[in-house]
Amino acid sequence: MGWFFGQAINEIIQSVFPDWLITIFQGIAFLGDAIVYIVILAIGFWIYKKKEAIIAMYVLLTSVFLNFFLKTLIQKPRPTNNIRIPDEIEGYSTPSGHAQNSTAVYGWIMLYFKKIWLYIVTPILVLLICLSRIVLGVHYIGDVIIGFLIGAVILAALYFIMPYILRIIDSWSDKMKIIVGELYGVAIFIITFTQGLFGNWDPENLTNKVIEDDTAHIASALLFIPILVWIEAKFVKMKNDNINWLTKLLRVIVGLVILLGAYFGFSELFKLIDTTGLAFMARYSVDYLIRFIRYSILIIIAVLLLPLLFARVKIFSKEKEAMVETKITEKGAKA
């Protein structure tokens, strides 16, 4: 079993693959990063079905939470620094978050839309993301296999039980949905923050680096989404049905410019806060708070502020021509 959690395979692949191919795998690995999922789900919320986008978000959050929980429980170190590309990636190794989350999220999208091309593209994409983690030397092959299997189990379990969960939730009042959602968020926050704070991180690996092995993004999403979704549905009421293709395109372009601008802008801004001189627990807590604030702002922008813009500004809410003509005809008949 030594090869399963040994870096010999990583080293062989890196010695055989040319530099340009390794660079391509860096781009492939990016497709499993958090920002890509945020973009995909945000676009779904802006131009497709808001409820389905939120469900997919909970699929992602479930997978990310379980991945962090298992990593801090197993505490398996990553391969050595000399083979990591890029070498600033730190934290624990088993299971691979990219392998697990891409299997769960992209798999969920594939099973939801049930398109032939997705049944072809999705497995290839997930396989390439899994392979990229080995090629880049940030995970052992065992990490990737375990991550893939856990992601597949999460996907299968949620796919079959989600209809029953939604049936129960749909019977609740708005107040009950918010209360249960917030309690769930608080519970996950307490579990993961405590687990991360006492996670027995390697101090040598974390020296002079921002600690990003936490669940601040999960906690912010779980705590803000229930109330923000209710506010949007109650007061903003962004309509996605029957909007024309140009409206969808404008929403995507403007939405991504604002969201990605905020993502990278706040990332650089918060880097100005130097926490490396603090003791570990204080540093972990401050870094956690910084990331919590950063992701909370992004969630507010994506789920509330941009929908408000799209609902109130006319160019972002134009309907299909056929629908407009139908309404004009109905008005004429009434007159």
Q: CA angle at residue 217 from 216 to 220, to 5 degrees? A: 80
Question: What is the arithmetic mean of pLDDT over 228-239?
Answer: 95
327: pLDDT strictly greater than 70? no
Least confident of 25-29, 112-116, 269-273: 269-273
Per-domain residue ranges of the chain: 1-171, 172-329
Q: What is the pLDDT of residue 15?
A: 85
pTM of the model: 0.88
Query: What is the pLDDT confidence band of residue 12, given thresholds at 50, 70 and 90?
Result: confident
Q: What is the pLDDT of residue 119?
A: 95
Q: What is the pLDDT of residue 323?
A: 47
Pick the more confident residue, 309 or 326.
309
Q: What is the pLDDT of residue 1?
A: 55
Distance CA 191, CA 189 (A): 6
48: pLDDT strictly greater than 50? yes
Q: What is the pLDDT of residue 208?
A: 47
Q: What is the pLDDT of residue 87?
A: 55
Question: What is the arithmetic mean of pLDDT over 118-129?
Answer: 96
Least confident of 7-11, 29-33, 66-70, 237-241: 7-11
Q: What is the pLDDT of residue 324?
A: 45
Q: CA angle at residue 80 from 135 to 31, to 5 degrees? A: 35
79: pLDDT strictly greater than 90? no
pLDDT tens for 124-173 read 999 999 999 988 888 889 999 999 999 999 999 999 999 999 999 999 99
Mean pLDDT of the chain: 87
Q: What is the pLDDT of residue 187?
A: 94
Query: What is the pLDDT confidence band of residue 90, given thresholds at 50, 70 and 90?
Result: low
Question: What is the arithmetic mean of pLDDT over 93-108?
Answer: 93
Pick the more confident residue, 116 or 204.
116
